[in-house]
Amino acid sequence: MNKFVYKNKLTSYQIIILGFSCVIMMGTLLLMLPISCGEGVNTSFLDALFTSTSAVCVTGLVLYDTASHWSLFGQFVIMLLIQVGGMGVITVAASFAMISGRRISLMQRSTMQEALSAPKVGGIVRLTNFIIKVTLLAELTGAAVMAPIFCRDFGSRGLWMALFHSVSAFCNAGFDLMGAKQAFSSLTAYADEPIINFTIMILIIVGGAGFLTWDDMRINKLHVHRYRMQSKVILYTTAVLLSLSAIYFYFWEFASLAPGRRILSSLFQSVTPRTAGFNTVDLNDMSEAGQSVVIVLMLIGGSPGSTAGGMKTTTMAVLFAAAASAFFRKEDTQLFGRRIHDKVIKNAATILLMYLILFFLGGLVISIIEKLPMLTCLFETASAIGTVGLTLGITPNLSIISRLILILLMFFGRVGGLTLIFATLSGTQRQAARLPQETITVG
């Protein structure tokens, strides 16, 4: 009997998936209520499910303008869903357990470790406390900085808007309330406002860098040589991606803008695809090359153990390092004087392959069904699977099948491909014997 119970226990990966699914369904039910809609009517199940999934998976793709369709209660529900999704369902549940004084079991600590992508179980409760403090401090500080600007434009309602956008930015969600000015306009009305631009950018970067990175910085301060290799990889890769994309946007996409706005727009659009979903320019005005660059940035996303989605910066860094080792005929893959385990390289290659297949197939199916240009559909699927929220404006007009595809891609992008695979194959027995080896030519 004990053996049967043990075998039927949920694994950490299954608990993570179940937790996200339950929160999404609870959010769906709340958003279906008449009190959640600005007009006091019921929102359909599929539309509420899409919005709830987008919020919990911190994506930002919407069917309705958030400010005009949802009531204050509905907006509050969306903000809570964003907060839970950004911090992680397991992290939020653990924080309530700690507040209530309950003891965290070893199984719960193991699940928290998987959810946070922490290197070990030890110190996971302390790390969770640190995450809660950083999240609250960052969001409240961001809201305080933006409040004077929003209060100037919206009166007392500006306080709510400052808090909502601060939470949305830190959690890399991309939901906005700028429909009060113009529906589906995101932050285009504040393209010339440095305070809003830089505050949103800083919140996105802080949230997307990963809590382990900030914990490393807290412990080791400016002694970068003491950082974990992962923290070094994250900071270096993030800096390279932001710099290269900002340079591209400045010289080739926004050359016609005034100098001040050109700089702000270039910086902002280099940050927001990783994976926040705000925009200060009309993405439809960008060239196909520019939209393709944004697609690549959306697929890469943020860093492990953060509020961001995507394949993650570490995945791309490991793959580039593996390619470099092959180019220079090195036996081992190395980063910052450390050898990368073959298992990590396999996982990185698997993640890349899964993302590319789902991203491309999703765009292909939507393009066929909706009879829309392939690049436009790929932009939308990249935004969904990267949990970004940037859009070329086609999402509200998609058919039911296309919306379901985006829902599945958003869920996959948030919980992670390996988490889904490990949860599905948790009962699979490992192969004890090793098969004979034979060489195969590639390339």
Q: What is the pLDDT of residues 27-62, one digit of tens each?
A: 999 999 999 999 999 999 999 999 999 999 999 999
Predicted pLDDT at 89: 74
Q: Percentage of the chain surpassing pLDDT 70?
A: 89
Predicted pLDDT at 31: 97
DSSP string, 270-295: HHTTTTT---SS-GGGS-HHHHHHHH
> What is the token pair recorded at 372?
């829309």
Q: Tell me: the pLDDT tens digits for 178-214?
A: 988 888 989 999 999 999 999 999 999 999 898 889 8
Predicted pLDDT at 315: 94
* pLDDT exceeds 90 at position 370: yes
325 HSE (CA, 13 A, CB side): 19
Predicted pLDDT at 136: 92
Predicted pLDDT at 443: 72
Residues in Cβ contact with 52 at an 8 Å cutoff, skipping those fewer than 6 apart: 24, 25, 27, 28, 30, 31, 81
Please report which confidence band the pLDDT of residue 229 belongs to, taking 50, 70 and 90 as the band edges. Answer: very high
Predicted pLDDT at 130: 85
Q: Tell me: the pLDDT tens digits for 301-310?
A: 988 878 888 8
Predicted pLDDT at 171: 93
Stretch 80-92: mean pLDDT, rounded? 85
Please report which confidence band the pLDDT of residue 124 belongs to, taking 50, 70 and 90 as the band edges. Answer: confident
Q: Tell me: the pLDDT tens digits for 273-291?
A: 988 889 999 999 999 999 9
**8 A C-beta contact, residue 283 and residue 294:** yes
* pLDDT exceeds 60 at position 269: yes
Stretch 165-170: mean pLDDT, rounded? 96
* Of 440 and 313, the one with more pLDDT: 313
Greatest mean pLDDT among 104-113, 170-179, 412-421: 170-179
Task: For residue 213, give the nearest of 75, 328, 312 by alpha carbon.
Answer: 312
Average pLDDT over the chain, rounded to an integer: 88
- Rg (alpha carbons) of the chain, rounded to whole number: 22
* Of 418 and 219, the one with more pLDDT: 219
Stretch 322-328: mean pLDDT, rounded? 92
* Of 441 and 331, the one with more pLDDT: 331
* pLDDT exceeds 80 at position 425: no
Please report which confidence band the pLDDT of residue 2 belongs to, taking 50, 70 and 90 as the band edges. Answer: very low
**8 A C-beta contact, residue 21 and residue 90:** no
Q: Is the dihedral of CA 203, 204, 210, 213 positive or negative?
A: negative
**Strand ranges inside 24-181, DSSP E:** none
* pLDDT exceeds 60 at position 1: no
Q: Tell me: the pLDDT tens digits for 396-410?
A: 999 999 999 999 999
Predicted pLDDT at 7: 45
Predicted pLDDT at 424: 65
Lowest mean pLDDT among 6-20, 138-152, 185-199, 213-227: 6-20
* pLDDT exceeds 60 at position 267: yes
Stretch 110-130: mean pLDDT, rounded? 73
- 252-255 CB contacts, 8 Å cutoff, 24+ apart: 252/287, 252/289, 252/290, 253/286, 253/287, 253/290, 254/281
Stretch 247-253: mean pLDDT, rounded? 95
Stretch 290-299: mean pLDDT, rounded? 96
Predicted pLDDT at 164: 97
Longest pairwise C-alpha distance within the chain: 73
Task: For residue 58, give the nearest of 37, 43, 78, 72 by alpha carbon.
Answer: 78
Lowest mean pLDDT among 2-6, 88-92, 241-245, 324-328: 2-6
* pLDDT exceeds 50 at position 6: no
Task: For residue 58, give the nearest of 29, 37, 79, 34 by alpha carbon.
Answer: 79
Lowest mean pLDDT among 46-60, 86-100, 346-360, 400-414: 86-100
- Does this model's pTM top 0.95? My answer is no
**8 A C-beta contact, residue 238 and residue 301:** no
* pLDDT exceeds 60 at position 390: yes
